[in-house]
Amino acid sequence: MRKGVYECLRCGHREVIDSNEPLLEGACPKCGGDMILIGYTEEGGAEPETQQVEAPSNVPSVLPQEVELLLEKFYSLHPLGEEGGTFVFSVSEIHEEDFEKVLQELEGKGYWAALKKDGERVLLYVFPAAEVKPDNPKIGITLFLLTVLSTLWAGYVLALSYIASLDEFGLPGYRNPYVIALSFSLSILGILGTHEMGHKIAATLHGVKSTYPYFIPFPNILGTLGAVIRVKSPIPTRKAAIDLGVSGPIAGILVAIPVTIVGLRLSAVVPQSIVPHTGNEFYMGSNLLFMLLEKLALGSAASGDVMVFLHPVAMAGWVGILVTFLNLIPAAQLDGGHVARTFMSARNHEYLTLALGFGLLFLSYFWVGWLLWGILVLFMGKAGNPGALDEVSPIPASRKLLALLALLLFVVSATPVPFYSG
């Protein structure tokens, strides 16, 4: 398997890394400098200092004149050198503050760029833009249809359980399992779809190429493992990184809140004293936001020693809040990870990801599902988070406030023990 051979621009250290990115910021293990791709090697080959290195194909050793003229319009530059098709410049003056505009015009010439700090210096890296292949829409449509079926089935099973609770305690309520199943499916698909479309819209506004949402069907109690979009080009600025990271959770929670309120109003509330206990009951954990919505929707009915049998629509809303919390974990390339990365270096964010990954493994003592999440975070952390291409331009105050909003949302949606029995 081919791996990249990287060389540090600061100290010259050379190393084989499992990556093909043109630039790895702060990746040098010796001095913490930036490393650029200078070639490829086969796994199991000799040491990178002595082996035969295959140069990347189709990369020029000289920038086209039209690209040089374009760069001179945006920056006052001093060339520092070229390695493997990546051109490095020292920047003495920035004429164009909008890096997204710079990137858009460069991409029209077939190039991308990265603006980084190296101590007191500002460096500009220019390299050939990667090919972004079109998606096959049939895959997304097929996954969506399968997820509709799987969530309908899950909703039907939950509806039968809810109706059985109404019958057991002689409570009034709507008892058509097919309509309840449909309402559950629409609710959970609406929350997940809105979350991912929030990312899609933010990506489009910032010129980041991405796919439409891919829904993931799964035969569990919810009928799905969620939805994802794939970002297919670099994030240009820290402003864009915050927008992409926060847009999904905010869009999703704006749908999850009214869904939760409606579902809670449809839920059954009975005195705890009349509910038999076998010791094998299965409960869904809570969080500050869900408790607040419960008080808002049920009022005095939720006070005292009572048991709330959640309507399937309320369960969909609860899942939406949980998904918001999970995505806002500030690790790796999760939504919260993109936001956290904008405020710290690649290395510090790597340390944070490791700490959170092992922290989740510790929490698996209380809920076994954290074991999977801890492993996932540690696995994702191996790839790191490259951050934005421009890490020189300041973060606008409006985006700092947006990051604080994401932090607040993370706290109120935090669910330390999502499921438990007893």
Q: If residue 56 lies in a helix (H) or strand (E), which one and from where to where? A: none
pLDDT score of 276: 82
59: confidence class by pLDDT, cuts 50, 70, 90: low
* Tens of pLDDT, residues 310-365: 999 999 999 999 999 999 999 999 999 999 999 998 889 999 999 999 999 999 99
DSSP character at residue 421: E
pLDDT at 281 > cutoff 80:
no
Across the range 38-59, mean pLDDT stands at: 51
pLDDT at 44 > cutoff 60:
no
Q: Is the dihedral of CA 284, 289, 292, 293 positive or negative?
A: negative
pLDDT at 295 > cutoff 90:
yes
Instruction: Let me know how long the chain is.
Output: 422
- The angle, 0 to 180 degrees and rounded to 10, between the axes of the packed helices 312-327 and 397-413 is 130
Across the range 6-18, mean pLDDT stands at: 75
Ramachandran angles phi, psi of 330, nearest 5°: -80, 50
14: confidence class by pLDDT, cuts 50, 70, 90: confident
pLDDT score of 246: 97
* Tens of pLDDT, residues 351-408: 999 999 999 999 999 999 999 999 999 999 988 888 899 999 999 999 999 999 999 9
What is the spatial distance between Cα 393 and Cα 98, in angstroms, rounded to a whole number? 9
pLDDT at 288 > cutoff 60:
yes
53: confidence class by pLDDT, cuts 50, 70, 90: very low
Nearest residue to 263 via CA among 309, 195, 304 = 309
pLDDT score of 204: 95
pLDDT score of 393: 93
- The angle, 0 to 180 degrees and rounded to 10, between the axes of the packed helices 238-265 and 288-298 is 40
Domains of the chain: 2-42 (2.20.28), 65-128 (3.30.1360), 137-421 (no CATH)
What is the spatial distance between Cα 364 and Cα 372, in angstroms, rounded to a whole number? 9
Question: Above pLDDT 90, what percent of the chain?
Answer: 67
pLDDT score of 292: 95
* Tens of pLDDT, residues 157-211: 999 999 999 999 999 889 999 999 999 999 999 999 999 999 999 999 999 999 9
**Which residue would you say has higher pLDDT here, 302 or 417?**
417
359, 331 contact by CB (below 8 A): no
Q: Which residues contact 15 (CB under 8 A, 6 or more apart)?
A: 5, 6, 28, 29, 35, 48
414, 367 contact by CB (below 8 A): no
* Tens of pLDDT, residues 111-130: 999 998 888 889 999 988 88
What is the spatial distance between Cα 167 and Cα 173, in angstroms, rounded to a whole number? 9
57: confidence class by pLDDT, cuts 50, 70, 90: low
What is the spatial distance between Cα 33 and Cα 48, in angstroms, rounded to a whole number? 18
Q: How many CB atoms neighbour CB 222 within 10 A?
A: 20
pLDDT score of 273: 83
Q: Tell me what the pLDDT averaged over the chain comes to.
A: 89
Across the range 39-58, mean pLDDT stands at: 50
pLDDT at 238 > cutoff 90:
yes
Across the range 292-300, mean pLDDT stands at: 92
Our measurement of the distance from residue 87's CA atom to the centroid of its chain's CA atoms, rounded to an integer in Å, reads 30
E strands present in 22-128: 23-24, 35-42, 75-83, 86-94, 111-118, 121-128
7-11, 22-26, 281-285, 324-328: which is most confident: 324-328
pLDDT score of 279: 65
Ramachandran angles phi, psi of 143, nearest 5°: -65, -40
What is the spatial distance between Cα 30 and Cα 14, in angstroms, rounded to a whole number? 10
Annotate 210-248 with DSSP letters as a single string.
Answer: BPPPEEEE-SSSSSEEEEE--B-S---BHHHHHHHHHHH
Global pTM reads 0.86
42: confidence class by pLDDT, cuts 50, 70, 90: low
